[in-house]
Amino acid sequence: MMARSSDCAVFPDTAAASAEPPDGDDGPGAASEEQDELLHMLDRMVDHRPALRVGGSALAEDLRRSVRDIRDPLAREFELERCAREIRALWLRGVAAETSRVLRSPTEREASRIAVRHDTFGYERDLQPEELEARCDRFFPPPPAPWQSQHVLFSSGQAALLGVLLALRPSQPLRVRHLGGYFETRRLIETCPALCASVDAAADVVIAEPVASDGGFDVHRRDEIIRATVGARALVVDTTLLGRDDGLDRLLAGLERDMLVLRCASGLKLLQAGLELASVGIVGVHSRSGRTLSNFAGALREMRTLCGTGLRFVDALALEAPFVFDPTYADRYAGAIFAHNAALAEAAASGNRLFVLPFAASPSPYCVFSLREGDDQAYERLADLIAAEATARKLAFERGGSFGFRGHRYEIVRPEDKPPFLRIAMGRRGGWTFEGVKTLMADIAARPAI
């Protein structure tokens, strides 16, 4: 059942995830805050890779000038975005300069040289990113005793889910119950009948999305998820939309029996400062039994090698950026995104006549707007109206997919089996465009028709 906007907390004690935006989200104050954040990221990157010092110093001066000398708010936001992209490029150039000198099947001498600073490998397909996985162990909230955990990294969120299903598969296809709406998870189940089959009850594996969105928002609460696991041998929780503090530790505390509990998440969205340095799928393996934990984590790593779904060397090095898997920074970054989307939903709902409520869950990294009445052409008119108004109001509001960025995006999503909808992904950046998009969508929502 669709949850009401005011009744969408995933777990009762996760409200802190949607805290108020950082102070100074008005104009120059917000720009100064982002400038300080980016400068700190640069300092940490240079400390980790001293070869970036010259380029980093020049970029730092550009950043200071963008806030000091630019008075037009739109131009200032464009400059902040340019500097953020340059930070990304600086880091990835440094990573590429190192990895380009190493073959994917290094010699013994090359492997020894790699081992001085990084996890080494004989074949890239068998790269074991032990340092990054150890960072994940420290990054996520620890499970409550007697639960134990390990983390295994894959090349993407979908690769992680496939690896989990392959490692769980017994002699017969798994019966899989999906409490969620992510279309690629549904398609994966549907297109692999030899691996798994979708069921509505008596499942071997439950895949749960605490917050699910596919044209609206469904919230699957802790008690509902726990009830669905009766008789199951494993629970997979997709926490991609929730950031670091996803409530899984509280869910584990409510489970009265031992079973495999697996967190699957894409680490590309909310955990990389909006810079998309490298795709990564994170599997957190949880069990009360140390032997079960080690055996299944080992099976996942073996499956990762056999399927070639592990991280490439260049991606592993890209993810060494100091702000990736930094719990304090991740909470601050995701918290701003959740707060900005909550603020947009509240602003648009105040005089809404055009769209179906609710616009967001709590927390949500984006908002969803479905017309009360309207066909595909109406959604294109809506997109054209947003584009025209964004230009007229001088807003840095771009048409594009996904979420979790520093800036703000919108797109018309067209699911295969459901009506289209408008998705707006408010980013981490406060100030001019953030305030302008709230006003723009409140104005559009108050219309009787599009």
Contacts of residue 98, defined as CB under 8 A and 6 or more positions apart, other chains included, come to: 317
Residue 140 has pLDDT above 60, yes or no: yes
Q: Where are the domains of the chain?
A: 20-102, 120-318, 329-445
For residue range 86-127, list pLDDT tens digits in order: 999 999 999 999 999 888 888 888 888 888 888 888 888 899
d(CA 28, CA 37): 14
pLDDT at 390: 98
pLDDT surpasses 90 at 67:
no
Cα–Cα distance between 404 and 425 in angstroms, integer? 7
Q: What percent of the chain has pLDDT over 90?
A: 76
Token pair for residue 396? 């840095």
| Class level of CATH domain 120-318 | alpha beta
β-sheet bridge partners, residue 9: 362
Looking at residue 182, its pLDDT comes to: 85
Residue 276, number of CB atoms within 10 A of its CB: 14
Question: 371 or 174, which is more confident?
Answer: 371
Token digits of residue 202: 């008596």
Q: What percent of the chain lies above the pLDDT cut of 70?
A: 94
For residues 153 and 282, the answer to whether their CB atoms sit within 8 Å is: yes
Orientation angle between helical segments 53-68 and 73-99, nearest 10 degrees: 170
CA atoms within a 13 Å half-sphere pointing along the CA-CB vector of 409:
18
- Tokens 């005089």 found at: 351
What digits encode the pLDDT tens for the residues 195-208? Answer: 888 999 889 999 99
What is the rounded end-to-end Cα distance, in angstroms, of the chain?
28
Neighbours of 439 (CB within 10 A): 14
Residues in the chain: 450
CATH fold, domain 329-445, is Aspartate Aminotransferase, domain 1 (3.90.1150)
pLDDT tens, residue by residue, 322-369: 999 999 999 999 999 999 999 999 999 999 999 999 999 999 999 999
Across 291-366, where does the E strand assignment appear? 355-356
The pLDDT value recorded for residue 7 is 33
Q: Which tokens hold the place of 345?
A: 């939903």
